[in-house]
Structure 1
Amino acid sequence: MEKTIQELIRKMEEQYNITVLLCCEAGSREWGLDNPNSDYDIRGFFYHNDKSAYMTAIDSPDSVEQIDFMSKDRIIDFSLWDIKKMFKLLAKSNPSILEWALSTIVYYEKPTEMEMIRNVILKYTCRVPLIYHYLNMSRRNYNRFIKNQMRVKIKKYAYIIRAQVTALWLIQNSQISQLNKNVQDLIKKVQLPKKTRKLFDQVVVLKKQQKSGLGIINSISDLDQVLSDLQGDLFTQIEKKRNQILKDYEIEKKTQNKIKFFNKIFFDLIN
């Protein structure tokens, strides 16, 4: 499959006259939740070889900011974003872009450039926006797919658990560089009651063993309650710690430095 992905990258570079900076896994495979039916959710960044695309204040209608591709068998789902958009979102600590840049499954990258970008991310990214991102994701999915439901997709349970244990890890640990995105590993590392850990592990096993179909099961009342209670507890924890984390982080100073370094990398790439 990696050979197929590499070939698709080369075709995109030729078709759009771009240079791909990064192509990585951004879905269930990255989180250790994949099963035999899992597709490849590939995300990444590129820059235009024609540097005039970056020389105007207002983007040309012909300028490509995002490239999307789905294979005929729907196994490979590509989405690549222009570096101008990438840096804007990284400056705001956009969680999705951060996840892609720090992905542990990389299909292709320009190592020197990506190392510079990752160094800036790890040095200047505040974990508070990330924590709220995962908590809001968890709450939104719980209310939409779990609350008052008799039948539930296994993957919805798994993705809510993923969001909650990631948020909990970030609350309990200050170093983003040490964040392990594998859900089973996170469940082991964060502080959780024994019952909660057991329920979470069971869901991950079910998700990974799913071989066909939609993976719909009867709702698990004990798990529903655990997810609801943990959600409230996590919001309480971050509200108590939020101001101190921001103070220790020196958010205004580091945000300015982050933007400065991203601008430098951006201009180095397009010159």
Structure 2
Amino acid sequence: MKEMIQEKLIEIEQKHDVKILFAVESGSRAWGFPSKDSDYDVRFVYIRQPDWYLSIDEKRDVIEVPINDLLDINGWDIRKALKLFRKSNPPLLEWLVSEIIYYDTYGFKDEMLRLRHQVFSPKASVHHYLSMAKGNYRMYLQGDEVKIKKYFYVLRPILACKWIEKYNTNPPISFQDLLTEMVTDPVLKSEINELLSRKIAGEELSLEKKVERVNEFIEQEIEYLTDFANSCTSELEDPTNLLDILYRKYLKIVWGNTG
């Protein structure tokens, strides 16, 4: 599958006249809880020819490949990516630490990793993850019977918030790492691990009776983390100059000296 994805990425480069700086897996495969039928969520950052940026008109800054049952591929232009990086965009920060890498050229991802602590905003990240947890909880985990596999789409953002509260750093992408570190109740951890094993093994986790202990944990943490999010602050120096320098640097590295 990796070779197929890399071939698709080469096709994208040729079709759109771009260079891909890095491409990684995101979503459940990167988080460590894929189902047997999980698709591949490929995300990438690319750079265009310098003249493309010298225009009085705003242009489309994403590339999307039509989604099928197996592949979901889309990417952001370097300028869009760096603007979102400046805002501590959590999905982008996750792409940088994904362990499933399809493309990594020119050293751009490594440079972003070196700068991530200068852009990381606990406030922005906590609000993002908490909003995700609340939305998925409302949608999937109400009532006596729930969609069991959706527990992970609520638990992971909750545990990410707890990591940020404890360490004030970007949370790891692995659900298992978050679970090991942030859940101390052995019974709760055992119940979550059992659900995780079932999901990864490919069991059909459709509607089942809700897991009371897990639901109680989620409700308590959402209430607590809502207060934490409201009190969370971020004081960062403006990284725009650093990111401008990085942007110009990679235009030259990829396409040659632009003068």
TM-score, length-scaled by structure 2 = 0.89
Q: Which residue is 1:103 aligned to? A: 98
Q: Aligned runs of 1:1-271 on 2, under 5 Å?
A: 1-48=1-48, 50-59=49-58, 63-70=59-66, 72=68, 74-147=69-142, 149-176=143-170, 179-211=171-203, 215-239=206-230, 242-243=232-233, 246=234, 250-251=235-236, 254=237, 256=238, 258-271=239-252
Amino acid at match of 1:270: L
For residues 101-143 of structure 1, give each alpha carbon's deviation from its aligned partner in whole angstroms, at most 9, with x where no partner exists: 3322211112512211221113331222111211111011111
Residue 14 (structure 1) shift: 0.6
Q: Is the 8 A contact 1:21 1:44 kept in 2?
A: yes
- Measure, in 2, the Cα distance between the counterparts of 1:121 and 1:102: 11
In the alignment, structure 2 segments of 5+ residues that lack a partner are 253-259
Q: Is the 8 A contact 1:68 1:80 kept in 2?
A: yes
Q: Is the 8 A contact 1:155 1:207 kept in 2?
A: yes
Residue 24 (structure 1) shift: 0.4
Secondary structure of the residue aligned to 2:63 is: strand
- Measure, in 1, the Cα distance between the counterparts of 2:32 and 2:200: 8
For residues 14-40 of structure 1, give each alpha carbon's deviation from its aligned partner in whole angstroms, at most 9, with x where no partner exists: 111110111101111111101321211
- Measure, in 1, the Cα distance between the counterparts of 2:201 and 2:206: 10
- The structure-2 alpha-carbon separation of the partners of 1:111 and 1:196, relative to structure 1 and needing over 3 Å to count, comes to farther
- The structure-2 alpha-carbon separation of the partners of 1:236 and 1:199, relative to structure 1 and needing over 3 Å to count, comes to farther
Sequence identity (%): 23
Q: Is the 8 A contact 2:134 2:222 kept in 1?
A: yes
In the alignment, structure 1 segments of 5+ residues that lack a partner are none
Residue 211 (structure 1) shift: 4.3
**More deviation, 15-24/260-269:** 260-269
What is the count of residue pairs matched by the alignment? 252
- Measure, in 2, the Cα distance between the counterparts of 1:6 and 1:109: 11
- Measure, in 2, the Cα distance between the counterparts of 1:134 and 1:18: 32
**More deviation, 115-124/162-171:** 115-124
- Measure, in 1, the Cα distance between the counterparts of 2:134 and 2:89: 18
